[in-house]
Amino acid sequence: MSTVDIIGVTKRYEAVVALDSVSLQIGEGEFFGLLGPSGSGKTTLLRAIAGFVQPDAGEIRVDGEDIRGKPVHRRDIGMVFQNYALFPHMAVFDNVAFGLSVRRRPQSEIRGAVERMLALVRLAGLEARRPSQLSGGQQQRVALARALVTHPRVLLLDEPLGALDKRLRQQMQIELRQIQREVGITTVFVTHDQEEALTLSDRIAIFNEGRAVQVGTPAEVYERPRTAFAAHFLGDANFFRGRLVGVADGVGRYRLPRGEMIDAPAGDAPPEAEAMLAVRPEKFSLTAAGPAPAAVAGANRLAGTVLQAVYSGSSTTYKIRADGAAADEEDLTVFEQNRAEQAFAPGERVDLVWSPAHTVVVEP
């Protein structure tokens, strides 16, 4: 298992800054996700680690060794591309054996290594098939076996499941994580799929405009996003603008533009500071509104009207317009599991209730 250190890496393409002084530390055996929209820099960083892109500044170190000057074939790094890049004229066995063959390993060693790797990815017995005779999931496992058979120090995955349908992608997420744990290889992967990043990663770096805007465990970056971008990109979020009017026991009271009060962790914000507050849709609970709704101790509460209710089997997604919302203010999104006794229809009056602990102060 190896470590990977990205130290102040910058890459420009004329006026476009693809990577803006990015620094990351990836630990031994870690499954590290690079998540962000198209053009955010995540794929450029992956290709820089592989050797396909030469940074303009900074260092890339594997086990403490700066590998920037090494050619691709001497970096001892395995890579799986989004389209798998399998040789269509070669059988499965020869595709997996390719890396060992070019290294001129003995045939007996190649056969044993390929057989062990195909067993690991559950493709034993398919050695003679061509890629065109395999399903998408099987092709993905062939590509993974080919990358791992040479025992590289680091494995790079570029949108490894992007070509699969949703059901197969979810299945392969579990298999890929299991294989990575069995092999114990340090893995860096690129994705724009939020669920995939949360499912696979030990830690995630969220990229935007060439920078890693937040790094942390899936729970850290989801539950406590630092910026509005991170909150919005990793999952869904509802945003409020408020002014800090008081603090008690570490809890701040924020006044919304229309006068309601919301409690949230105060942090170190000064009095009367403007703030942006984020709440995940599943953190809300909906209750039927009444002329004098019973208070929920210590909870935030807003009144509103249901605009839309979308049933999706296990859950229902509601769009709620808060009372007094401005014309340019976004409606609120609420996710509720379909286990409640009461469902709400468009036009119904409701109260949204949630814990101050689930309100996060983020940078705009």
Q: Which fold has domain 4-224?
A: Rossmann fold (3.40.50)
Whether CATH 2.40.50.100 fits 238-362:
yes
Higher pLDDT residue, 65 or 85? 65
pLDDT band, residue 42 (cuts 50/70/90)? very high
DSSP 8-class letter at 124:
T
Reported as type and span, the H/E element at residue 356 is: none
Q: What is the mean pLDDT of residues 194-222?
A: 95
43-54: per-residue pLDDT in tens?
Answer: 999 999 999 999
pLDDT reported for residue 291: 58
pLDDT reported for residue 79: 92
Residue 324 amino acid letter: G
pLDDT at 70 over 80: yes
% the chain with pLDDT above 70: 97
pLDDT reported for residue 324: 83
Q: What is the mean pLDDT of residues 93-112?
A: 90
Nearby residues of 52 by Cβ (< 8 Å), 6 or more positions away: 72
Residue 291 amino acid letter: P
pLDDT band, residue 30 (cuts 50/70/90)? very high
219-261: per-residue pLDDT in tens?
Answer: 999 999 999 999 999 889 999 999 999 988 888 999 998 888 9
Measure the CA–CA gap between 141 and 143, rounded to whole angstroms.
Answer: 5
- Nearest to residue 275, comparing CAs of 321, 234, 227, 318? 227
Fold agreement (4-224, 238-362):
no
273-320: per-residue pLDDT in tens?
Answer: 889 999 999 999 998 886 544 455 578 999 999 999 999 888 999 999
- Domain extents for the chain? 4-224, 238-362
Helix, strand, or coil (residue 27):
coil
Calculate the alpha carbon distances from 62 to 32, 236, 258 in Å.
14, 35, 54
pLDDT reported for residue 270: 78
- Dihedral sign computed on CA atoms, order 137, 143, 149, 154: negative
Residues comprising the chain, all counted = 364
pLDDT reported for residue 290: 67
- Which ranges of 242-329 does DSSP label H, i.e. alpha helix? none
Report the mean per-residue pLDDT for the chain.
Answer: 90
Q: What is the mean pLDDT of residues 132-149?
A: 90
- Nearest to residue 86, comparing CAs of 163, 171, 172, 154? 163
149-193: per-residue pLDDT in tens?
Answer: 999 999 999 988 876 777 778 888 888 899 999 999 999 999 988
- Nearest to residue 235, comparing CAs of 279, 277, 202, 191? 279
Residue 80 near residue 156 (C-beta atoms within 8 A): yes
pLDDT at 99 over 60: yes
Q: What is the mean pLDDT of residues 103-131?
A: 91
pLDDT band, residue 83 (cuts 50/70/90)? confident
% the chain with pLDDT above 90: 66
Nearby residues of 74 by Cβ (< 8 Å), 6 or more positions away: none
Residue 147 near residue 117 (C-beta atoms within 8 A): no
Nearby residues of 144 by Cβ (< 8 Å), 6 or more positions away: 80, 121, 160, 176, 179
pLDDT reported for residue 165: 76
Nearby residues of 185 by Cβ (< 8 Å), 6 or more positions away: 1, 29, 78, 148, 152, 153, 154, 155
Task: Concatenate the DSSP letters of all residues of 222-266 into one string.
Answer: HHS-SBHHHHHHSS--EEEEEEEEEEETTEEEEE-TTS-EEEEE-
